Structure 1
Amino acid sequence: MNTWQSVKVAELGRIVTGKTPKTAIPENYGGDIPFLTPSDDMSVKYVSKTAKTLTEKGLSEVKNTLLPPDAVCVSCIGSDLGKVVITTEKTVTNQQINSIIVDKDRFDVSFVYYAMLILGKELNFISKTSTAVPIVNKSSFSSYEIQCPSLDQQKRIAAILSALDSKIECNQKINDNLTEQARSIFQSWFVDYEPFGGSKPSDWQPSTLGQIANMKTDSWSPVKNPDVVVEHYSIPSYDEQRFPVFEIASGIKSNKYLLTSDSVMISKLNPDTKRIWRPMCLSGHPVCSTEFIVYESKKKGQRDYIYSLIDSIPFFNHLCSHTTGSTNSRQRATPKSTLDFALCLPSDSVIEDFCEIVTPMYDLIASNVVENQSLAKTRDSLLPRLMSGELDVSDLDL
């Protein structure tokens, strides 16, 4: 650590706190300028897209907060406190995010990103011990200190961690592409009928989801199996990393649904936020939250037709139109009503042909997800050791 020094966040570059243009003026929104908020995907290293964008008019209200590419953005409020991303183009954030426009003559952008990840974890941990909504303002954020080596060592450390993140990002892009391909194929075959001349084949029959799939509610009790390690598909684990949590049953408070390799599922909680899962069943004890609706095809080999069906736009619209609850935060779809979803049922041979195409896609997605978990675990174990100087990288040939 002889070459390392303590540096305040304010010394890393210019600190910018975001600002929101007036939402009452519709003309402020819908342009080409990304508008980053903590509700966007900040689980990745680089911002790929944002839910909201600004027009030039909207930018004119907050022009002093415009960030260049390679700004490091840190969420500084609430449950999202400590999330970090790097901008890839000119971007504006809301006031819940503090950003660093890095002084590249002294600091490496990726090194600063990884330093903020560690700081973010510390801030998030502190926030969980407070009953009030945690907020880190610009002044407090700027005063935090991190340890920094020389610029050359910063680049070496960042290169090691970035190699892992690049592979994770590559796998995720492949998965996003495969997902869109599978959706497009389903749309082409079963909505637009493109392989069949653009019209529904005469031998396809009116049917419902309930006629071709069973809703599974086989219950599993953690109280009766306290020592079992389960592969738990929960709402939080979906939202955080799209990967099940492996945990001891004694720490689980409520009953779960049993899953099999034939299961597919979709969340009934707040269905306008789509949470659809094709469980990987990596262990002998896969279970899921009862907030999911679990289906299994009545015919063997048609799992991925059912999965693609519940992932389709028509089914999503049906799900969202059959809800209970008066507030957006606690709306639930009615499971039984999903079985009434109407469809035109193709022949078994058509479904089999479809599954022959999409099942390898879904299997590769699952394989990439598992690999990404392993890569992330490696990165997370290296991160504190590299960023503290415990692992010396000065002699590495990078």
Structure 2
Amino acid sequence: MATWQTYKLGELIDVQNGFAFKSGDLQNTGTPVIKIKNIQPPNISLKEADYYPHELILKMEQFIVEKKDILISMTGSHVSQIASAVGKVGRYGFDKPALLNQRVGKLYSKDLNQLDNDFLYYLISRPEIQFELATNAGGSANQANISPQNIKDLEVEVPDLPAQKKIAEILSALDDKIELNRRMNQTLEQMAQTLFMQYFVDGIDADNLPEGWRVGSIGDLFTLQRGFDLPSTIRAGGNVPIFSASGLNGFHNEVMVKGPGITTGRSGIIGNVYYVDEDFWPLNTSLFIKEFKASTPLHSFYVLKHTDLKGLNTGSAVPTLNRNDVHSLEAIIPDRKTVLDFEEKVKLLFNKIRQNEKENQSLINLRDTLLPKLMSGEIDVMQTQTAGQYEEVLS
């Protein structure tokens, strides 16, 4: 049985603050700089990252971020807005080094013979830790700030090193499988994208089209329609996904559109396109495809993804997309056989993506259920050895 002890976290870890880069220091290429926006638990995202274009001189060494480093946001919202609250934790997963920006902290064990870094990641990423940090944060009404000392003052219970390593091994195995599925889905999505280009873009000349193809408009492929009102006050719990301009927006118990279907933003956010492989409810901030004419769901999905929807914005303060402007755009209308052949091949890829997403959700649920039980000692990790045993404990 593992032996647990109570510590102030500062007895076990240290916190490295980030560097105060100036906006003029950063460009579009070079070494990525990790800002608060890049912490997207449980990972670090380099999407929309800024880059330091200069050589990493000696004084920058302490701010280098390497693979598996644990990062935490030192600024954010107060506890009343927990989704964006201060204290978000992510782990850097890239082989190439990055740099730490101000108001991002790097956490690391002072002594790996006392505290395992992998265990530290799961210890500090628990929701109750973020809640405690956000509750005790200082700052203004609109912005919460924490200091390294706030983190070090946390009181935590930690088992002996063998138990730490075993707990981290179990949780890491789940996270590794989740990450493998995520990367596999990226590959499958790229394969689908490549197929669309091969079928309908590369080598296609509008003046010399294959037999049965013609030049028309997007309105010849499909018809877009505005989504439907559904105030939050009348939403009922269910498993029917609700889609807004920004994507999945909750669930309802009533179907408005039979899937599979396509939605995109109409107001507020435009340019994002979503494929929904089940029955759903599109909100009034979105457009959905009401009728597929010379197109099919996945063909339409990629047609819209390859259309500059943001360039059709008619709003000033609020981005707005008019469906008629989309309908009037020139488009290549392929023959039906080619479209159906593409749909069949890409559907197989999307089915695998969906399977991976479902498996990941099950793995995430298992991990999130195991995490507090392992961290509290409720499950004796030194006695429970197999995945089947863990499932038995949780059932």
So what's the TM-score if we normalise by structure 1? 0.81
Q: Give % identity.
A: 23
Structure 1 pair 247/133, CA: closer, same or farther in 2 (3 Å)? Answer: farther
Q: What is the distance in 2 between the residues matched to 1:342 and 1:139?
A: 60
Asked if the contact 2:268/2:285 (under 8 Å) is kept, the reply is no
Partner of 1:260: 258
Asked if the contact 1:193/1:200 (under 8 Å) is kept, the reply is no
Partner of 2:29: 30
Alignment of 1:129-148 (within 5 A): 131-148=141-158
2:257 is the alignment partner of 1:217: no
Asked if the contact 2:227/2:284 (under 8 Å) is kept, the reply is no
Q: Deviations 1:348-394 (Å, cap 9, x if unpaired)? A: 01101111111111122122212212221121111111111121112
Q: What is the distance in 1 between the residues matched to 2:135 and 2:379?
A: 25
Q: Which amino acid aligns with 1:280?
A: D
Q: Deviations 1:185-217 (Å, cap 9, x if unpaired)? A: 1122211137x9x96425421122222212233
The structure 2 residue matched to 1:349, chosen from 308, 317, 337, is 337
Alignment of 1:1-398 (within 5 A): 3-25=3-25, 30-31=29-30, 33-40=31-38, 42-45=40-43, 51-57=49-55, 62-78=60-76, 79=84, 81-88=86-93, 89=95, 90-103=97-110, 104-118=112-126, 119-123=129-133, 131-193=141-203, 200-201=209-210, 203-217=212-226, 219=228, 221=230, 227=236, 229-234=238-243, 238=247, 245-246=250-251, 258-269=256-267, 271=269, 275-281=272-278, 286-299=280-293, 302-312=296-306, 315=307, 317=308, 319-326=309-316, 330-397=318-385
- What is the CA distance between 1:220 and its match in structure 2? 5.6
Asked if the contact 1:218/1:258 (under 8 Å) is kept, the reply is no
Asked if the contact 1:208/1:342 (under 8 Å) is kept, the reply is yes
Q: Which amino acid aligns with 1:298?
A: F
1:215 is paired with a residue of what secondary structure? Answer: strand
Q: What is the distance in 2 between the residues matched to 1:64 and 1:223?
A: 48
- What is the CA distance between 1:245 and its match in structure 2? 3.3
Q: What is the distance in 2 between the residues matched to 1:277 and 1:140?
A: 41
Structure 2 unpaired stretches of 5+: 77-83, 387-395
Would you say how many aligned residue pairs link Structure 1 and Structure 2?
373
- What is the CA distance between 1:331 and its match in structure 2? 2.6
Structure 1 pair 193/7, CA: closer, same or farther in 2 (3 Å)? Answer: farther
Asked if the contact 2:224/2:289 (under 8 Å) is kept, the reply is yes
Q: What is the distance in 1 between the residues matched to 2:286 and 2:338?
A: 29
1:232 is paired with a residue of what secondary structure? Answer: strand
1:39 is paired with a residue of what secondary structure? Answer: helix
Q: What is the distance in 1 between the residues matched to 2:353 and 2:175?
A: 17
Q: Deviations 1:77-109 (Å, cap 9, x if unpaired)? A: 222533222224432122231111334332222
Q: Deviations 1:147-182 (Å, cap 9, x if unpaired)? A: 211111111111222222112111111111111111
Structure 1 unpaired stretches of 5+: 250-256
1:245 is paired with a residue of what secondary structure? Answer: strand
